[in-house]
Amino acid sequence: MIIPVILAGGSGTRLWPMSRQHYPKQLLKLFGDKTMLQQTLLRLEGVANLAPPIVVCNEEHRFMVAEQLHEIAQAKASIILEPVARNTAPALALAALHAKTLAENPILLVLSADHMIKDVGAFHVALENAITAAKAGHLATFGVNPTRPETGYGYIKTKMDSAAATGIFYPVVQFVEKPDLVTAEKYLAEGCYYWNSGMFVFQTEVFLNELQGQSPDVVVAAEQAKVWAVQDLDFIRVDRESFAQAPNISIDYALMEKSKNVVCIPFNAGWSDVGDWKSFWDLSDKDASGNSLIGDSIDIGSSNTLVFSQDKLVATLGVSNLMIVNTPDAVLIADQSQAQQVKSLISQIEKQKRSEHLQHREIYRPWGCYDVIDNGDRYQVNRIRVKPGGSLSLQVHHHRAEHWIVVKGTALVQKGDETLLLSENESTYIPVGTKHRLSNPGKIPLEIVEVQSGPYLKDDDVIRYEDSYGRS
């Protein structure tokens, strides 16, 4: 049995302003009509003996992850919540310990939720080779054939002339950090170096035994956290205090760089970790002048430029080598040479105590989402979308009143002791201090416009009495 383990806890800061802390790149539809998480799982279709996946994600993203898995018929997936970020080694230890409860020594296929692979057929061939290596007791890692002297990736050095080399995998000599350009050019010329993809295949017991030998504190913390784990709706919640004792360490540092049992599976399948907007531009379709124009855009005379616009017309005239990313609340304009430095802008945003690095203007909740259309002194206007069957908590506000107007669908409104069923163009008023709940009993999304008024309109003016999603 092969169990996919999907690591979905990244933040994708270099893809700001699309990727935000509360809505990172793996949950976005950057390529086509499926998110990167969904595409990661869908490209496994056709792999034999595949079991439902284990997804390890940030607790803040749990409802979005669960919803996206349901959308692609992966409702049987195990979703493990990281109570605190501790990097990939503790996350993988948790997943492996859980896998032991699902089958006897299954093979784990470890993938990141935010990678792009264009040639799925070539990936499947490499995967078969990796499974062969794993069955032989190795820790297999995928090494991407380098196509350029890339300074943004770590590298794997292999021993290609070894008698142990099989032709489909090679012993790993060394994992090396991101090099400078001169070193990267040297690696490319030598021919025994591969880009480190961060994808792995191994038997569960082999992995845990080796991790225990190389980084026992990682295993101990994961075991303690798993002992006190509880099932909560679709999620597995591990013990926060125990998991926090795990070192903050990657699987490369904790195990792969130390083990003598690692082999590299070379593959060339159009892989990218989509780590920045330059990588995104590399993968995107382009016109004859090298421009990638996505969304509402007009261009005259530009070259090698990326435009990604979500909500308004972006017009470019005679520019070159630019990255222009427009979202409803932030716009990035940068030279392509600065793609790796976008994360430095996050530091500036944090220093100014702004929130644009945390979330989009449209805020996602387990029941749907809302968008702040306008606000001012003592008022705020929201557009609220509730998915079919979704329901906000039964709640009360002490400082604001709300007026709801149904734009689309049917709303079931609990207001004090009164229950209302509202159709399009109908409305209701929620006075200050009145218990209320909004639900969607229909089969299509419910959309309403909400007008809040009062002296204090922050989100913390809410007391929940009942909630369908286990929130406090």
226-281: pLDDT as tens digits: 999 888 878 999 999 999 999 999 999 999 999 999 999 999 999 999 989 999 99
Question: What pLDDT is recorded for position 278?
Answer: 93
| Cis bond before residue 17 (omega within 30° of 0) | yes
Question: What pLDDT is recorded for position 472?
Answer: 67
CA dist 91 and 83 (Å) reads 11
441-456: pLDDT as tens digits: 999 999 999 999 999 9
pLDDT band at 151 (very low <50, low <70, confident <90, very high): confident
- Of 14-18, 205-209, 230-234, 369-373, the poorest mean pLDDT is in 230-234
Q: What is the pTM of this model?
A: 0.88
In percent, how much of the chain has pLDDT > 90?
83
Residue 391 CA to chain centroid, in angstroms? 25
How many other CB atoms are there within 10 angstroms of residue 400's CB atom? 20
Average pLDDT of the residues in 450-467:
93
User: Is residue 224 over pLDDT 80?
Assistant: yes
Question: What pLDDT is recorded for position 150?
Answer: 86
Mean per-residue pLDDT of the chain = 93
Residue with tokens 């006075």: 431
Average pLDDT of the residues in 90-117:
96
Average pLDDT of the residues in 143-153:
89
CA dist 243 and 76 (Å) reads 25
Question: What pLDDT is recorded for position 27?
Answer: 94
**How many Cα neighbours within 13 Å face the side chain of 112?**
27
User: Is residue 42 over pLDDT 80?
Assistant: yes
User: Is residue 154 over pLDDT 70?
Assistant: yes
338-348: pLDDT as tens digits: 998 998 999 99
Higher-pLDDT residue of 300 and 167 is: 300
CA dist 230 and 439 (Å) reads 28
| DSSP letters for 290-302 | S-EEESSEEEES-
Query: CA quadruple 65, 67, 73, 78: dihedral positive or negative?
Result: positive
Strand partners, 57: 8, 81
Question: What pLDDT is recorded for position 165?
Answer: 56
Is there a contact between 272 and 115 (Cβ–Cβ < 8 Å)? yes
Residues 6+ apart with CB under 8 A from 118: 269, 270, 271, 283
User: Is residue 432 over pLDDT 90?
Assistant: yes
Average pLDDT of the residues in 114-130:
95
Question: What pLDDT is recorded for position 11?
Answer: 80
Average pLDDT of the residues in 193-209:
95
In percent, how much of the chain has pLDDT > 70?
98
3-state secondary structure of 406: strand
User: Which domains does the chain show, CATH number per domain?
Assistant: 2-272 (3.90.550.10), 284-351 (no CATH), 362-466 (2.60.120.10)
How many other CB atoms are there within 10 angstroms of residue 248's CB atom? 11
Please work out, in degrees rounded to the nearest 5, the angle formed at the alpha carbon of residue 21 by the alpha carbons of 19 and 23: 55
